[in-house]
Structure 1
Amino acid sequence: MRKVISLPDKNRTVVKNIALVSLISLLLVICSFHTAGLREYKVKRIIIDAGHGGKDPGTSGKISKEKDIALKVALELGDIMKEYLPDVEVVYTRKDNTFIELNERANIANKNHADLFVSIHCNAVSNPNTHGTETWVMGLHTSDGNLEVSKRENSVVLYEDNYQEKYEGFDPNSPESHILFSLSQNAYLSNSLTLAEKVEHQFKQRVQRNSRGVKQAGFLVLWKTAMPSVLIEIGFLSNEKEERYLNDEYGRTLIASGIFRAIRDYKEEIESTN
């Protein structure tokens, strides 16, 4: 006799939600293919998002906080883009030490009809020898390490009022919640991966940093952005040498220049296919 396995109500709800989000994502992908040939795609407006800020310091090293390093790199990146890509409008989610809620960062991108969303962060782990860059896109985490990174970045919601309402019952400590959110950006996954790969290529080949590669996980800051989006971890503040590098103006300029070249190359590649 075939044994029937009955799932608990909570697990059954999670499975149903995952199936529903997957179906919606598939429909978005189909729609994007259907409309792709109707207009030329140009990269005209880019959102630069400095992670954390205000009451949310992000991670910390011995001499610096993530919110400060991320802002300095974001502003430097914007200055480089304005000089060398004058036809592209740069919009910042924040230009000072201000706390911006995660969903508001996506709202800024969507209201401005942005063509790219670039979020800049710093990393930290318990091992002080770990170093290098990582570029993340919205997707399923494939390891416990990936899940821990998304948990850390998503824990920002604990600084927000009524976060469970705003993020549809999201629990930053629940692996199931991260799985649900990771499925929602599939319509832009291909282009997001293209940009992420170019960022890591620049870091490795031109900036001479240790590239830890392109990775996927469920990030709330990327969740509702209606455009290709990446989250860039520019280095580990838990590594003393890397923290000194990120606190040096020349080091930050090299990092910002690498991101700029990746965006420039992405723009040229995408627009050449029109």
Structure 2
Amino acid sequence: MGSRLFQNSCKTIKKKYSWSIFSVAIIVLIFVSLASVSPKKPFLYKIRTVVIDPGHGGQDPGTIHPTKKIQEKDIVLPVALELGATIKKYLPEVNVIYTRTTDTFVELYKRAEIANRSNADVFISLHCNAMDIKKDKKRAEVKGLEVFVMGPHANQENLEVAKRENAVILLEDNYKKNYGGFDPNSPQAHIIMTSIQNNYLENSLHLATLIDKQFSERLHRPTRGIKQAGFVVLRRVACTSILVELGYVTNDEEVEYMTDTWNQTLMASAIYRAFRDFKNEVEK
């Protein structure tokens, strides 16, 4: 009897200590594993690529001054090239890509393809605005920078701007096939496609705000605020994207300003500073 109790006690002690040894072994293995793994650095988002899109070009002149015949495409191209050159000079780590560098026509869907194919982080499309002054001559007095992001039309005026810019697709061959049957003259079509860019809306609005601030506070230029509308050129771009209307071609004062070489440099510098500040804030 005593011998049996002794044997049972030994088994209990052996079982108890075997579990203790097993537990200690597991803990040791965990610490060894943790010690052997070097701590990973936190992921830091970097803006590596910006695509600059001078609107229109080639057989598409964009808006035209009613008497001076100054064309939108000839204003935005030098501003775009100056903007890219400034980014390359002061932010050499950023890859700058243009949708066009000469007076050539590039379809809107191809501009988006250029951005997506290059894994762009930011897409900046440059344009000039206009008013239909045939209906009301007082509209020739309207002026100011406007920055658009993809979104619903807040009013009829925003819709008209989007419809005018989107009408470019009518110059393209097979535009119905390229844009899935999209009709640039249909208000309903513009409304439906505005939900696609919601993923990038916050950053797009922030960059737009910085540009508006640079023009108003540094250049002392009139601005008409940040707006949302449905632009085909922004629809398929998978990144932060904005469309800048530098001013009104139908306003004599603004046409004179926008066609001046030095002022084009100033406008490019203002957009560069906004882009630089945006980059610094996002990467923090």
TM-score > 0.5, shorter chain as reference: yes
1:146 alignment counterpart: 158
Runs of 4+ in structure 1 off by over 6 angstroms are none
Segments of 5+ residues of structure 2 without an aligned counterpart are 1-41, 134-138
1:104 counterpart (94, 110, 117): 110
2:235 counterpart (220, 223, 239): 223
2:244 alignment counterpart: 232
- CA distance in 1 between counterparts of 2:249 and 2:170 reads 22
2:75 counterpart (56, 66, 69): 69
2:192 counterpart (176, 180, 193): 180
1:116 alignment counterpart: 122
1:42 counterpart (46, 69, 75): 46
- CA distance in 2 between counterparts of 1:229 and 1:253 reads 22
Identity across matched positions, percent: 52
Q: How many positions carry a matched residue from both structures?
A: 235
- CA distance in 1 between counterparts of 2:219 and 2:246 reads 11
2:62 alignment counterpart: 58
RMSD: 0.9
- CA distance in 2 between counterparts of 1:76 and 1:142 reads 32
- CA distance in 1 between counterparts of 2:167 and 2:193 reads 14
Q: Deviations over 1:187-229 (max 9, x none)?
A: 1000000100000010100011001010000000000001010
1:212 alignment counterpart: 224
- CA distance in 2 between counterparts of 1:199 and 1:39 reads 28
Q: Deviations over 1:47-93 (max 9, x none)?
A: 00000000100001124100111101000111111111111110000
2:171 counterpart (153, 159, 164): 159
Segments of 5+ residues of structure 1 without an aligned counterpart are 1-37
Q: Which amino acid aligns with 2:254?
A: E
1:137 counterpart (124, 130, 149): 149
Q: Which amino acid aligns with 2:59?
A: K
- CA distance in 1 between counterparts of 2:205 and 2:237 reads 15
Q: Deviations over 1:2-57 (max 9, x none)?
A: xxxxxxxxxxxxxxxxxxxxxxxxxxxxxxxxxxxx84211111000000000100
1:82 counterpart (80, 88, 108): 88
- CA distance in 2 between counterparts of 1:185 and 1:155 reads 20
- CA distance in 2 between counterparts of 1:77 and 1:228 reads 17
- CA distance in 2 between counterparts of 1:60 and 1:74 reads 19
2:214 alignment counterpart: 202
1:249 alignment counterpart: 261
